[in-house]
Structure 1
């Protein structure tokens, strides 16, 4: 009898698993439940869609639902929300407009992803308060920008009502959060002539990067007329009129437009009140684990679903992958939470292989990530924060260098700043943070450090890596090699 592979969630991890399982087993019954209408889309591209660099929302879709159904023979059921899992009976229950469905499974993958974190403050349900965690979120934000610009080439067909401030439609707006989404959306909005105010609770943007990287990005944001409020915790989003009575409520959707909510009018911190027309909440994401918790599955120390190396959960034949699940950090060997696209695709693909008879781990993660801020690019990988390194049992030492991106005599180029961290006792490379002008290679140079992390290499080994050199691309001594030499000298 043919086995049934059921998948909950139709984005990166879920559809990677479904596609790989189909390639490996043409007879396997594959059923995917997705509560929304979109599947297999690039959420990371949403800020660039809002900005206007990507003109069509459909361009972010890798494979359409029709292609999955007709070309890959996958039973994809959009508009179906899974509300319960029974590991003992091996069934999932899904709700749709056509009624409930109880679906048996032999193998089950939870790929429920992550959701935007909404801070517990008043005013988050005011009209004009947005998050960016889904395609519908991106569509709403694009429509907001289009209305403000009154630009026919930019607008979508369902552009909505006119901007309420006809004489000043492009600002001011607020971005709450100085992480990836916050930085990318600050660029997207400023590029469309909005007056952007960015609020960050901590004392620097991009907390997961080095101080040198954070300072370089912050300086560039200011150069682009983004007003930064560092060490500034938002206490409330105030309404523009007397109808602001939203204390303690949470939004039921991306932008609630209830009769009594009113419109957002200001961001309130401990020390000031900043008038704004719109607020984008970019305060991070958290794993969607409710289904797993209700089914009695183990939740790990990071708050995501715990799995073994093969992504199997505490229930037999139930797997979890992507932004809802933990992964293993290549430096510490401990569970970590890394809600990143490549991790989701790798681990989903590995589950697809496993359920079809070839057990596959999918690999660990180093937390490698990159971000573009106007004309600056930054990357990070591994462990950079000294407190985190000490907690993992290391004695961290770091060095920061700035070196040329290309040969000095070449007519183009710029600087690359590298912060490299290693363990004092063993010399093992722990992580790095890099920043440069856009196009000058900070991101691509981080890949050499990733290789060192995966290999457990020392800084002395890294400084002898045979990296490519030609004047248009590099100096003889790549900035990563320079950083390794300097740090190696400190350790010697």
Structure 2
């Protein structure tokens, strides 16, 4: 009798697992339930679709449903929402088109992803308030931008300097949250002529990065005429049926649209109802092979925890590469080759207009101390290319290490766009993966040629300076 591998969720982790399992065991029956119409898509590209740099949602799709069904022989069922898992009977129940299907499984992967966090403030249910967590969200936002550019926006506040992108300003908008989505959407909306107000309740944007990176990004946002409101608590989104203003603890700013970019949380309700345990992060707890406390039930992607390479402890960092890696590992595991999929370093990058920023590992000193380290950091700014080579810029690197062991803990980098902050972070990722010391990193043999780098790469410069302090 042929075994059946059932997957709940058709995005990165789910479809990576399905494809790998079918590739390794062609006789395995692979069934994927996806409640929406889209599968295997790049949600990280949605801000650039809204901006207009990507012309079609279909361009964000890696593999179409038809290709999964016809070319990979995967039983993909879109429009099917799994509403229950019965671990004793080893079945899942899915609702679709007014009907219901009960599907048996031998192995099950929960890949339900994450959902946008809606902050507990009044007015989030008003028309004109958006999140950006799905393809349908992206479609709605793109349509809104198109209407506004045609002059169909419902309000036309006083035009300001941000409107230099277009002959006429398309309106004033609010972005709540200074993380990845908030910053990327601030760029997308400003590029379409909106006056953008970015609200951040903390004292800096990009909290997971170093202070130097956060300050550089915030300063650049202001240079691009984004109004950055730090230490600002949004109390209410005001309006009758449609949002009309963002009311903060000390101001009222009229807007015609609000984008909520206040983070994501794992979708775990389905797993919890089935008796599957959550970890200390609030995401689904798994072992190294992504198996949960329930035998033959796995979890991967944005709904599940992973192990942090620096601390060795569970962490929740929902990113695309992790989902793909861990989904692929589960696909191998269920076909007889137990595969761990690896730890994570929390490596991430963001573009803000003409600036790029990257981070990896542990940078925050409080977080490092909680993990048992004695952190020490150094921030340097160095040239990105040979001084005599034209058009170069600078890279600012904050490097953090453990004072006792000298082990590299993490780094945050920022540069002009194209000057290499993101790619340079990869050297630090390598150091984290192998548990290297600052002295080891200082001697990494990184590439040099005048158009690309200085003889001493900025990461090496940061390592030299921090090594000097540690010596």
Indicate the SS of the match to 2:122.
coil
Aligned residue in 2 for 1:154: none
Provide the C-alpha distance between the structure 2 equivalents of 1:441 and 1:412, rounded to a whole number of angstroms. 13
2:274 to 295, 307, 313: 295
Match of 2:153? Answer: 163
How many pairs align?
A: 461
**Could you say which residue in structure 2 is the equivalent of 1:213?**
213
Superposition pairs of residues 98-117 of structure 1, within 5 angstroms? 98-117=98-117
How far is 1:233 from its partner?
A: 1.0
Listed as ranges, the matches of 1:75-86 within 5 Å are 75-86=75-86
User: Pick from 373, 379, 402: which aligns with 2:381?
Assistant: 402
What pairs with 1:322-333 in structure 2 (closer than 5 Å)?
322-333=301-312
Please state how far the C-alpha of 1:412 moved relative to its aligned partner.
1.7
Instruction: Write out per-residue CA displacement over residues 165-221 of structure 1, whole angstroms, 9 at most, x where no aligned residue.
Output: 379761100000000000000000000110000000100000000000000000000
Does 1:278 pair with 2:249? no
Q: Counterparts of 1:170 and 1:105 in 2: how far apart (Å)?
A: 52
Q: How far apart, CA to CA, are the structure 2 residues paired with 1:164 and 1:412?
A: 43
Distance 2:438 2:364 in 1: 17
Per the alignment, residue 353 of structure 2 pairs with 374
Separation in 1 of the partners of 2:374 and 2:192?
Answer: 46
Partner of 1:340: 319
SS at 1:103 equivalent: strand
Paired residue for 2:371, among 383, 392, 395?
392
* 1:247 aligned partner: none
User: How far off its partner does 1:109 sit?
Assistant: 0.1
Residue matched to 1:318: 297
Match of residue 91 from structure 2: 91
CA deviation after TM superposition for structure 1 residue 98, in Å:
4.6
Counterpart for residue 73 of structure 1: 73
TM-score, reference length from structure 2: 0.97
Number of the residue aligned with 2:165: none
- Which residue is 2:439 aligned to? 460
Q: Contact 2:113/2:267 (CA < 8 Å) preserved in 1?
A: yes
Counterpart in 2 of 1:265? Answer: 244
Instruction: Give the CA deviation at 1:308.
Output: 0.2
Contact 1:310 1:362 in 2 (8 A): yes
Q: Could you tell me the TM-score, scaled by structure 1's length?
A: 0.93
Counterpart contact for 2:380–2:461, Cα < 8 Å: yes
| Cross-structure match for 2:50 | 50
Task: Specify the alignment match of 1:450 in structure 2.
Answer: 429
Report the alpha carbon displacement of residue 163 of structure 1 after superposing the two structures with TM. Answer: 2.6
Q: Does 1:359 align with 2:344?
A: no
Residue 475, structure 1, aligned to residue 454, structure 2: yes
**In structure 2, C-alpha distance between the alignment counterparts of 1:389 and 1:293, rounded to whole Å:** 31
Q: Return the alpha-carbon distance in structure 1 between the equivalents of residues 153 and 140 of structure 2.
A: 13
| Matched position secondary structure for 1:195 | strand
Q: After the TM superposition, list the runs of 4 or more consecutive aligned residues in structure 1 that deviate by more than 4 angstroms.
A: 166-169
Matched, 1:18 2:18: yes
- Decide whether the 8 Å contact of 1:177 with 1:201 is kept in 2: yes
Number of the residue aligned with 1:251: none
- Are the aligned partners of 1:148 and 1:169 in contact in 2 as well (CA < 8 Å)? no
Answer yes or no: is the 8 Å Cα contact 1:196–1:226 preserved in 2. Answer: yes
The alpha carbon displacement at 1:340 in A equals: 0.1
Unaligned runs of 5+ in 1: 152-161, 244-261
Q: Does 1:38 align with 2:38?
A: yes
Whether the 8 Å CA contact 1:399–1:487 is kept in 2: the answer is yes
Partner SS state of residue 171, structure 2: coil
Alpha-carbon distance between aligned partners in 2 of 1:71 and 1:276, rounded to the nearest angstrom: 48
Describe the superposition over 1:207-251 as per-residue Cα deviations: whole angstroms up to 9, x where unpaired.
000000000000000000000110001111000xxx3xxxxxxxx
Q: Separation in 1 of the partners of 2:293 and 2:445? A: 43
Is the Cα–Cα contact under 8 Å of residues 169 and 195 in structure 2 kept in the other structure? no
Contact 1:304 1:325 in 2 (8 A): yes
Query: Where does structure 2 lack aligned partners over 5 or more consecutive residues?
Result: 158-167
What is the CA RMSD across the aligned residues, in angstroms? 0.9
Query: Residue 290 of structure 2 contacts residue 299 of structure 2 at CA under 8 Å; is this kept in 1?
Result: yes
- Equivalent pair of 1:405/1:441 in contact (CA under 8 Å): yes
The range that moved more, 366-375 or 97-106, is 97-106
Asked whether the 8 Å contact 1:163–1:169 carries over to 2, the reply is: no
Give the match for residue 164 of structure 2: none
Shift of the alpha carbon at 1:338? 1.1
Q: Is the 8 A contact 2:153 2:256 kept in 1?
A: no
In 2, distance between residues paired with 1:236 and 1:71?
A: 50
